[in-house]
């Protein structure tokens, strides 16, 4: 490994902090291999997690169909399917046992189906899942994302199912600690990703429903308050008409315990369930079938959606049927994309200015996947064709930029001293984005990734039946409308129009005026 790569890794380790680095070493080092071999004979070494894209395989083995069988009156069949799966995939052997979170999600779906059907979950299956979850908690906790919450929930629920009070209490403590660490009091989540925010709330809401049914340790008022705030946060960014979420951050279509039949592209059932569980309120979907299946009462109080809001990592504005979400700092946890100051703009259900998505995590073409996570795949400014921070791994960046707030936006300064500040204002149906840049660079490129449509170039930008974008600056500009790519579903990519505006060296002020039709 070259000296420069080592320096980047040291930089990333310093910014991650001692706790996650120590936990990562504990969860993946040589001692982890020895411990796992003793605890789970036959388990493949977990370092293979970074070598191939197992995400599609894992998705099909999360047992998401078991609760649907239980709702259809086939609870006994659901339990038999779990037993058959265990026989076909012996414990701890093969890629389906590599990840503790996957075992936790199977446990959640299995125990949800058992409680719906009022049958006993097969103890041998629950025991195997519990052993896998419990074997390596350090790996999950090092991630500082959805993993520790899911695994703690799975461990608690397995303990309740098996009558193991110590296991249930250990899982409950870890769940509370993970929520306290990863969910900010303002509702933002450690992962700056609406999709994974939804997954976290899905796990938390179903876990809370199961805990009350199975007699588990009560949720603390602090944890309930943070999950309630997280519900408000997800409601703000969810399209009320379609349930679509901004594709900001990692986006892989994960959908947990979907009793509403909404699927990965519609989060309304998730928001409604969490609103009833943690806020004693409704998100505006009183007839949600998933909530009816769980017997959740219909609250009368609606969630309050603020027109202007700010949280850790995001800023939101709404007016005249349109809304904007700006990705700001601070970077409290490991960033998944180099997307600082990306702007999503929605006009009703139309995601007019949009994120490129994630495509895939470990595909056969790593460079293509990395491009979706890079700065050029977002509605922000890139300098000299570089990302805002250098990449040192599939899920790791180094030399995170400094960030700070502005009254209507935020600013960032990268490791090379290049500065970008952005503020967003709105009057009626006209949105104005003001960018200022400074620092050493040869070229800066502003990108606006557009909704597919009949866009045509104009002297100052582009226009379509949906909107008009006019970009001006105090320096000469070069506009061009090009065809890029976006990923609307995991592993898939499709063409998408992009307005690119290039400037030469030196400080500059740029204004984008977006007039909605």
**pLDDT tens-digit readout, 103-142:** 999 999 999 999 999 999 999 999 999 999 999 999 999 9
Which SS3 state, helix, strand or coil, does residue 319 take? strand
Q: Are residues 341 and 420 in contact, defined by beta-carbon separation less than 8 angstroms? A: yes
CA distance 431 to 449: 16
Q: What is the mean pLDDT of residues 406-429?
A: 98
Is the whole model's pTM more than 0.75, yes or no?
yes
Q: What is the pLDDT of residues 179-236, one digit of tens each?
A: 999 999 999 999 999 999 999 999 999 999 999 999 999 999 999 999 999 999 999 9
- Give the mean model confidence (pLDDT) for residues 3-16: 87
pLDDT class for 51, splitting at 50, 70, 90?
A: low
pLDDT confidence of residue 176:
98
Contact 491, 359 (CB under 8 A): yes
- Tell me: pLDDT of 44 over 70: no
The string of pLDDT tens digits covering residues 453-492 is 999 999 999 999 999 999 999 999 999 999 999 999 999 9
Output the pLDDT for position 32: 80
Q: Which of 407, 434, 400 is nearest to 420 (CA)?
A: 434
The answer on pLDDT for 33 being more than 60 is yes
Section 57-69 average pLDDT: 96
Residue 46 has pLDDT above 60, yes or no: no
Strand ranges (E), 36-102: none
Q: What is the DSSP string of 145-158?
A: SHHHHHHHHHHHHH
Residue 119 burial (10 A CB sphere; 0-12, 13-18, 19+) = middle
Sheet of 308-311: strand order equals 308-311, 314-319, 322-327, 343-347, 350-353
Task: Give me the pLDDT at residue 365, please.
Answer: 80
- Predicted confidence (pLDDT) per residue in 252-303, tens digit: 988 899 999 999 999 999 999 999 999 999 999 999 999 999 999 999 999 9
> What is d(CA 149, CA 145) in angstroms, rounded to the nearest whole number?
8
């Amino acid at each position: 490994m070259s000296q420069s790569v080592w320096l980047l890794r040291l930089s990333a380790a310093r910014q991650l902090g001692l706790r996650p680095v120590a936990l990562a070493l504990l969860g993946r080092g040589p001692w982890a291999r020895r411990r796992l071999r003793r605890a789970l004979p036959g388990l493949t070494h977990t370092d293979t997690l970074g070598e191939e894209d197992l995400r599609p395989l894992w998705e099909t083995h999360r047992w998401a169909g078991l609760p649907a069988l239980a709702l259809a009156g086939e609870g006994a069949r659901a339990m038999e399917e779990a037993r058959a799966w265990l026989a076909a995939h012996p414990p701890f052997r093969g890629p389906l046992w590599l990840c503790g979170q996957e075992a936790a999600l199977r446990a959640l779906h299995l125990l949800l189906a058992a409680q719906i059907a009022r049958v006993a979950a097969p103890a041998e299956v629950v025991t195997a899942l519990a052993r896998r979850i419990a074997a390596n908690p350090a790996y999950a906790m090092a991630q500082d994302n959805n993993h520790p919450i899911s695994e703690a929930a799975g461990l608690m629920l397995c303990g309740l199912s098996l009558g193991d009070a110590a296991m249930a209490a250990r899982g409950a403590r870890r769940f509370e600690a993970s929520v306290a660490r990863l969910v900010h009091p303002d509702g933002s989540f450690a992962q700056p990703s609406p999709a994974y925010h939804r997954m976290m709330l899905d796990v938390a809401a179903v876990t809370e429903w199961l805990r009350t049914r199975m007699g588990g340790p009560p949720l603390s008022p602090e944890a309930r308050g943070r999950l309630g705030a997280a519900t408000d946060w997800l409601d703000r960014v969810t399209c009320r008409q379609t349930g679509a979420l901004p594709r900001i951050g990692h986006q892989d279509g994960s959908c947990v315990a979907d009793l509403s039949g909404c699927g990965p592209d519609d989060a309304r059932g998730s928001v409604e369930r969490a609103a009833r569980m943690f806020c004693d309120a409704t998100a505006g979907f009183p007839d949600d079938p998933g909530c009816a299946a769980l017997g959740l009462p219909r609250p009368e109080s609606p969630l309050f959606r603020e027109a202007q809001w700010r949280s850790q990592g995001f800023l939101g504005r709404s007016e005249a049927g349109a809304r904007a979400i700006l990705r700001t700092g601070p970077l409290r946890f490991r960033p998944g994309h180099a997307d600082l100051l990306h702007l999503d703009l929605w006009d009703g259900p139309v995601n007019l200015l949009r994120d490129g998505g994630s495509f895939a995590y470990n595909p056969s073409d790593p460079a293509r996947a990395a491009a979706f996570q890079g700065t050029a795949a977002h509605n922000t400014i890139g300098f000299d064709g570089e990302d805002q921070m250098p990449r040192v791994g599939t899920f790791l960046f180094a030399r995170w930029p400094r960030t700070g707030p502005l009254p209507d936006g935020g600013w960032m300064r990268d490791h090379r001293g290049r500065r970008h500040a952005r503020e967003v204002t709105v009057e009626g149906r006209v949105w104005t984005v003001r960018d200022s840049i400074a620092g050493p660079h040869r070229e800066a490129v502003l990108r606006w990734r557009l909704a597919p449509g009949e866009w045509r170039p104009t002297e100052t930008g582009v226009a379509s039946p949906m909107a008009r974008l006019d970009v001006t600056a105090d320096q000469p500009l070069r506009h061009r409308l090009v065809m890029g790519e976006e990923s609307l579903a995991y592993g898939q990519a499709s063409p998408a129009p992009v307005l690119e505006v290039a400037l030469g060296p030196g400080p500059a002020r740029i204004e984008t005026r977006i007039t909605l039709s």
